[in-house]
Structure 1
Amino acid sequence: MGSASEARFHYVDVPSVTDGLRHATSGTTLTTILRTADGVGVEARYEPRTATSPGDATDTAIVLAHGFTGSADRPAVRRAAAVFARYAAVVTFSFRGHGRSGGRSTVGDREVLDLAAAVAWARSLGHSRVVTVGFSMGGSVVLRHAALFRADEQTRGAHTDAVVAVSAPARWYYRGTAPMRRLHWLVSRPVGRLVGRYGFGTRIHHAEWDPVPLSPVEAVPLIAPTPLLVVHGDRDPYFPLDHPRMLAAAGPCVLWLEPGMGHAENAADDELLGRIGDWLVRAWTMMDTR
């Protein structure tokens, strides 16, 4: 289930479905199947910016990474995408094993390749700046992706220019809350994986990680100088506040602790999503986050 090593990834294959910025500015919504570096087909959707006033954000695309058992079509993801579209173009996709994507979920390991394919696709549509925001499992994925994919020829545009991790874990194998104990049962037991497939529409890989991937807290020091924002609710039932505080202590970042907020995209209200969208399109000018 794990990658051969946690060295930096390289090639990402993005289908040639567009001829560049013409699509990014024409008001066209695009859907496609991306092919990841390890051959998994990932469904993806591009939506242009909805704001009518001109601005610097026209060259920016936000790539949204959903949480475990989510998908690009889930109402909370669609709501978040609609808010982010006020600030920039938006790419949503379903992680492997979720929605109409192929493969099976590795619960945050090989999913970095899914995100890399979505980021590279956004750049192929003509966006010079591509930023990422992830929720829960997606939050751990955007952190590892930012650490492993750097801005050079090896990753062929699959790198991010700014990162937001919402409700992300700091460390693997956490079982300190009842929801996380239930999640571990879902992932680790055959009957749990059946519940995941037929109850949540999520196909989960049976193999354990080998090797164990870089943890989110280990990824954070490798992200700088890319701007990083960590967002977490003080009523998160999955991960208590020691998780975001560990992430914030591990390297340069901005930390928002949100009063009354629960977990991930379902708990993020439109006001918070708007603040995140605004931060993402302005992050490159905020030198104090670097």
Structure 2
Amino acid sequence: MTDDGVSIEARYEPSPVSGTEPSDQVALVVGHGFSGALERPALRRVASAFRQRTAVITFSFRGHGRSGGRSTVGDREVLDLTAAVRWARGLGHRRVATVGFSMGGSVVVRQAALCGKTDEIQPLHGVHQGERTGRSPGRTVGAPGPLGAARGSAGWADGAAPDAVVAVSSPARWYYRGTAPMRRLHWAITRPTGRLVSRYGLRTRVDPGGWVVDPLSPVAAAPLIAPTPLLIVHGDRDPYFPLDHPRMLASAADPAASELWIEPGYGHAETAASPELLSRIADWAAAHAAAHA
């Protein structure tokens, strides 16, 4: 359950090869792209590859799969990721890395930046998220304010800060429409007919209210992550986001705590990731999370 009262479906899979106790294993918490979900084949393939090296938590973002709520396309999804990271800590994992693909990539960058920092998170138009979904309501969300206010004076990020972050195929900035796939995606998000296609064709429920205030962008969030290690992975054949996106993220991030991998021949997100690339990502995340924790 997220801090704003959304029920999130998730799955925990310990690794059979990297230690017998959760405290001995790094946990990778994986955020999928828009229209993905826990049971989608691409995410299950990622989980299977990662599990050969680490424990894995996969989940469906709000508005996806059997999770509650509606998608806010990267804004309040930071609360979904936070709930999953806290779950990993609660299971006994001392070292946790987050890995996000496409929309999930923007979420892991923003979530890591907001741990211990402040940002304005979207009010849901004066209602509980739980009221939107018919589930038990969470805290009332009022006017925009510090994200830390969601959990009172102790701060929302207790137990949620990752030990390493990997953003794969992530956008750097909002409202990008420079490629045909992104123009189609914006239609699916912003138009009533598009949201119907999203709901019934992509099985993704989009919040029709949109953003009241633009959330902190990934490129603005990137410099706030240090000293937590950050890996940015992008393909030179990505049909959604050209190479200026990962380069903008890398330029904004602290060079002492970040790396950029431009992968030849790689397309977009979890669907196009090869087993070899997934293995390298898992190895990097596990090693850097262990070193940073």
Q: TM-score range by the shorter chain?
A: 0.7 to 0.9
- Structure 1 distance, partners of 2:272, 2:211, is 29
Question: TM-score with structure 2 length normalisation?
Answer: 0.83
In structure 2, the residue matched to 1:161 is: 163
Q: RMSD across aligned C-alpha pairs, in angstroms?
A: 1.9
In structure 2, the residue matched to 1:23 is: none
CA 1:72/1:263 → structure 2, altered by over 3 Å: closer, same or farther?
same
In structure 2, the residue matched to 1:280 is: 285
- Structure 2 distance, partners of 1:55, 1:105, is 35
Q: Residue 51 of structure 2 is aligned with which of 85, 89, 96?
A: 85
- Structure 2 distance, partners of 1:41, 1:275, is 32
In structure 1, the residue matched to 2:94 is: 128
CA 1:99/1:137 → structure 2, altered by over 3 Å: closer, same or farther?
same
In structure 2, the residue matched to 1:36 is: 2
Percent sequence identity over matched residues? 65
Q: Residue 265 of structure 1 is aligned with which of 240, 263, 270?
A: 270
Per the alignment, in what secondary structure is the counterpart of residue 8 of structure 2?
Answer: strand
Alpha-carbon shift at residue 256 of structure 1 (Å): 0.2
Q: Residue 184 of structure 1 is aligned with which of 183, 186, 189?
A: 186
CA 1:168/1:88 → structure 2, altered by over 3 Å: closer, same or farther?
same
Give, as a single letter, the amino acid of the residue that structure 1 aligns with 2:64.
H
- Structure 1 distance, partners of 2:102, 2:59, is 15
In structure 2, the residue matched to 1:14 is: none
- Structure 2 distance, partners of 1:223, 1:107, is 21
- Structure 2 distance, partners of 1:57, 1:79, is 25
- Structure 1 unaligned spans of 5+: 1-34
Deviates more, 1:250-259 or 1:143-152: 143-152
Are 2:33 and 1:67 aligned? yes
The residue correspondences of 1:156-235 to structure 2 (distance < 5 A) are 156-235=158-237
Alpha-carbon shift at residue 54 of structure 1 (Å): 7.2
Are 2:99 and 1:99 aligned? no
Contact 1:49 1:58 in 2 (8 A): no
1:204-248 Cα deviation digits (max 9, x unpaired): 000121110000000000000000000000000000000000000
Give, as a single letter, the amino acid of the residue that structure 1 aligns with 2:111.
H
- Structure 2 unaligned spans of 5+: 118-147, 149-153
CA 1:57/1:135 → structure 2, altered by over 3 Å: closer, same or farther?
farther
CA 1:98/1:142 → structure 2, altered by over 3 Å: closer, same or farther?
same
Are 2:124 and 1:119 aligned? no
Give, as a single letter, the amino acid of the residue that structure 2 aligns with 1:254.
E
Aligned residues: 253
Question: TM-score with structure 1 length normalisation?
Answer: 0.84
Per the alignment, in what secondary structure is the counterpart of residue 42 of structure 1?
Answer: coil
Alpha-carbon shift at residue 139 of structure 1 (Å): 0.1
- Structure 2 distance, partners of 1:210, 1:149, is 22
In structure 1, the residue matched to 2:76 is: 110
Deviation above 3 Å: which 4+ runs of structure 1?
A: 52-57, 150-153, 284-287
Alpha-carbon shift at residue 107 of structure 1 (Å): 0.4
Deviates more, 1:270-279 or 1:149-158: 149-158
Alpha-carbon shift at residue 86 of structure 1 (Å): 1.4
Are 2:245 and 1:249 aligned? no
Contact 1:57 1:87 in 2 (8 A): no
Give, as a single letter, the amino acid of the residue that structure 2 aligns with 1:186.
A
Alpha-carbon shift at residue 60 of structure 1 (Å): 1.3
Deviates more, 1:55-64 or 1:129-138: 55-64
Per the alignment, in what secondary structure is the counterpart of residue 9 of structure 2?
Answer: strand
- Structure 1 distance, partners of 2:17, 2:178, is 42
Alpha-carbon shift at residue 36 of structure 1 (Å): 0.4
1:22-71 Cα deviation digits (max 9, x unpaired): xxxxxxxxxxxxx1011010001100012166799833110000000000
- Structure 1 distance, partners of 2:36, 2:16, is 24
